[in-house]
Structure 1
């Protein structure tokens, strides 16, 4: 016996569902939702939130949607009646801008399944009307949006004359929604403030956002001094940023031993400034830390649960910045290691430059971690941001290597014919103490974004191809 039947399908996606009702002298019983039965109807959804609203006659709610975390819905009336309306706002849809309306009431108990990508609203037809609806994603207030119920281009017939409703009751928010034309012509996604935009990670974020069509503002210290809290607040105040991605950092590990104040200003106190302002504005905050926060005493990769023990001024400043960032519940804190890319100078570029005028190179083999391609770091960070699963994450390319291993691989790829020698950290006069082993375990982020991180050698291969393409030749 079928527990549910599809009475009507609209736009190939919206489904009016009639549940099987068992009635006798005692009353009635019905199933509202059944995962396996709904799969037979072509609805394979995970509903994560249930909502319940009560309204008097003549209340109109809508047309609502979320620009991110779009919600599929299963709507039913448990008391009274509504005229339910959905509008296709999927910009690549063949039925874009078309609407559908249907009466739902507590007597026939029909339900309306609305997939993601539709604006939704309803008009209550009786006093004390109550509806319940299941949602496929959480309510995200920073992405809440809407379209005017009486938009002239949509021309929705709310059947006010049929239902004898002369005056509507709307919330102040619903009175101020955009027009459908404004929705069509405007950008609806995230709006990013990117700091440290001239660095290698910042540059790769810009390339990624340009490719995806994500709206962003890229700033470096010339445009925005993030150590100046009032300047940052003023900059953010007049914009509707939804995410701040902080790629700015003081990264000169050895010079930090002398420039302590400057190092802490950028790695710790600037992070504190950004966190506090993001909290005030309900903006998602993303920032980066380092494998250097660990002391290297461990012999297997460090997880997010391992306790840091920084050895240098630089690493201590980064750890303090971590503590500030994790005080905000909407923070993504990502530790990474040995980052290389097309931006600032990095170890990969240094090895290539050294090889141009030297026949012998000496590279340490007692520092082990994993080289991380900034392009991969940007892409996985963006995938992670889409999940809204905030917290601390580790990210480095798969595999592990010493600095010697990294240099050896690069030199072979560029065809260098010189002699590579092994050295020890103690052979070099470095002011900052470094961990011998600081490989990060990145399995958590792989699980969350459901994607495998490439090996560091593959990252270097792609980096070299990008470098050669930029230079127009192979070095």
Structure 2
């Protein structure tokens, strides 16, 4: 009999993500009423904001109706509208809890959240039982991503209240494999965009080659294409890391460059934002110190208002504003990125070796960020999942100028650092014959927020020495 008057409570089961909810049911001699799924109340209790798109009902008129064990490629919130069931859930996901079992009874006063990849089954204990479930993908009987387990599997050893020999089971359920023959359900995919860029190559080294990690280039997935929304089955993805960007800072000041910069850094980002919002995907997006004008005294925090100077900075600031509308987002602000490719450090090392004495600006201050350290910081955020939002992520240590860095490069490569001639930014660009973008004089980002998550990047001086040795 349904219990009335319970408080709304959450109980974690031994299977990660499988959560039981006791529901308040209000009844009298006329019947009862309950709030079966209540987002505003359940989210604070730890229910995932799983975005249901369909409500399904399975009606069973006889005691002993037994269905499952089916693991489906979506999450679902299961409850009983009328009657009572014995439910059994088996973790069929790839990982350390593969094969874990949980059983309990459900009636109208109890519900359960079943994450993707956890096998779901039940046996009715009362006639005229209606088993209902909200799902966050549109149901398909023949879709990809299903996994099944035999109801009588000896390893799971489910203690059915009514012996399976005494109930009717479908031919399909009879034919499902034993646990030893079940292929574990892989995790949802991680998609890394821009895999051929400096950051993209570092992300490939950091995340490695795994079936659930997908790397794309513009040739294999163009995020500026009009068909991006249908280019993938986006429900299969858990995370997108956007390592693409238009970064030709000076060229962005030209008519063609301005068009391209806005297309990649803003318009395409809006497309990614729509896709990730609609499909509950975590979006990691890398931004820049150029969203600030560099006039602040002290380090820029995540809460400082953006004040971009040039076209590149304006397009990155527009992208940032778009990203913050995505419910699951990590917006990474970084500065002075150095990786596997053409960059300032390589240029200075080459000039030193060739006997060329460069002039280098000494009125821009910040910290270098090596792509290996940036990739490691992104991996940390995705592993630990702190609160979504904006995080500054650069190298650590004392802020320096470009001229300071050039001197260090010369010294570490065995050359005289006094060969560097310091100049102001105005002096450096005084003879430029093509458009040049304004640069922020202060690019130093405050790292307190990401440090509180347990991540501290290496000192830039150490990373620079390591980079030059390689």
Q: Is the 8 A contact 1:365 1:404 kept in 2?
A: yes
Q: Does 1:402 align with 2:388?
A: no
Q: Where do 1:192-207 residues align within 5 Å?
A: 192-207=190-205
Question: What TM-score results when the alignment is normalised by the length of structure 2?
Answer: 0.68
Give the Å deviation of 1:456.
1.4
> 1:398-434 CA distances to partner (integer Å, 9 max, x unpaired)?
1222112222233222222353232211121261111
Q: Does 1:260 align with 2:258?
A: yes
Q: Distance in 1 between matches of 2:304 and 2:234?
A: 40
Query: Which range is displaced more, 365-374 or 188-197?
Result: 188-197
Q: Distance in 2 between matches of 1:254 and 1:438?
A: 17
Q: Where do 1:199-238 residues align within 5 Å?
A: 199-210=197-208, 213=210, 215-230=212-227, 232-237=228-233
Give the Å deviation of 1:273.
1.8
1:428 corresponds to = 428
Give the Å deviation of 1:65.
8.1
Unmatched 5+ residue regions in structure 1? Answer: 1-10, 14-46, 70-79, 107-116, 130-138, 469-475
Q: Distance in 1 between matches of 2:207 and 2:317?
A: 29
The aligned length equals 396
Equivalent position to 2:362, from 341, 361, 365: 365
1:271 corresponds to = 269
Q: Is the 8 A contact 2:288 2:316 kept in 1?
A: yes
Give the Å deviation of 1:261.
0.9
Q: Where do 1:326-365 residues align within 5 Å?
A: 326-342=324-340, 344-365=341-362
Q: Does 1:148 align with 2:148?
A: yes
Give the Å deviation of 1:242.
2.4
Equivalent position to 1:446, from 447, 451, 456: 451
Q: Distance in 2 between matches of 1:183 and 1:441?
A: 52
2:378 corresponds to = 381
Q: Distance in 1 between matches of 2:218 and 2:459?
A: 33
Q: Distance in 1 between matches of 2:230 and 2:161?
A: 46
CA 189–123 in structure 1, closer or farther in 2 if over 3 Å, else same: same
Question: What TM-score results when the alignment is normalised by the length of structure 1?
Answer: 0.68
Q: Is the 8 A contact 2:93 2:118 kept in 1?
A: yes
> 1:74-102 CA distances to partner (integer Å, 9 max, x unpaired)?
xxxxxx98756565768676x964x6677
Unmatched 5+ residue regions in structure 2? Answer: 1-13, 17-44, 49-58, 76-82, 108-116, 138-144
Q: Is the 8 A contact 1:229 1:270 kept in 2?
A: no
Query: Which range is displaced more, 80-89 or 361-370?
Result: 80-89
Q: Is the 8 A contact 1:293 1:318 kept in 2?
A: yes
Q: Is the 8 A contact 2:70 2:149 kept in 1?
A: no
1:412 corresponds to = 411
> 1:17-42 CA distances to partner (integer Å, 9 max, x unpaired)?
xxxxxxxxxxxxxxxxxxxxxxxxxx
SS, match of residue 421 in structure 2: strand
Q: Is the 8 A contact 1:398 1:453 kept in 2?
A: yes
Query: What is the root-mean-square deviation in Å for CA atoms of aligned residues?
Result: 4.8
Q: Distance in 2 between matches of 1:83 and 1:147?
A: 21
SS, match of residue 232 in structure 2: helix
SS, match of residue 383 in structure 1: helix
Q: Distance in 2 between matches of 1:347 and 1:183?
A: 54
Give the Å deviation of 1:204.
1.1
> 1:283-335 CA distances to partner (integer Å, 9 max, x unpaired)?
22221110111111111111111011101111011111112222222222211
> 1:54-80 CA distances to partner (integer Å, 9 max, x unpaired)?
x996576876889999xxxxxxxxxx9
2:160 corresponds to = 159
CA 152–201 in structure 1, closer or farther in 2 if over 3 Å, else same: farther
Q: Distance in 2 between matches of 1:318 and 1:101?
A: 48
Q: Is the 8 A contact 1:360 1:418 kept in 2?
A: no
CA 148–295 in structure 1, closer or farther in 2 if over 3 Å, else same: same
Q: Distance in 2 between matches of 1:92 and 1:228?
A: 36
CA 226–105 in structure 1, closer or farther in 2 if over 3 Å, else same: closer
Q: Is the 8 A contact 1:372 1:456 kept in 2?
A: yes
Q: Distance in 1 between matches of 2:406 and 2:128?
A: 73
CA 217–164 in structure 1, closer or farther in 2 if over 3 Å, else same: closer
SS, match of residue 199 in structure 2: helix
Q: Is the 8 A contact 2:293 2:307 kept in 1?
A: yes
Q: Is the 8 A contact 1:189 1:214 kept in 2?
A: no
SS, match of residue 242 in structure 1: strand
Q: Distance in 1 between matches of 2:461 and 2:182?
A: 44
Q: Distance in 1 between matches of 2:102 and 2:393?
A: 48
CA 257–207 in structure 1, closer or farther in 2 if over 3 Å, else same: same
Q: Distance in 2 between matches of 1:350 and 1:68?
A: 50
1:314 corresponds to = 312
CA 265–91 in structure 1, closer or farther in 2 if over 3 Å, else same: closer
Give the Å deviation of 1:354.
1.7
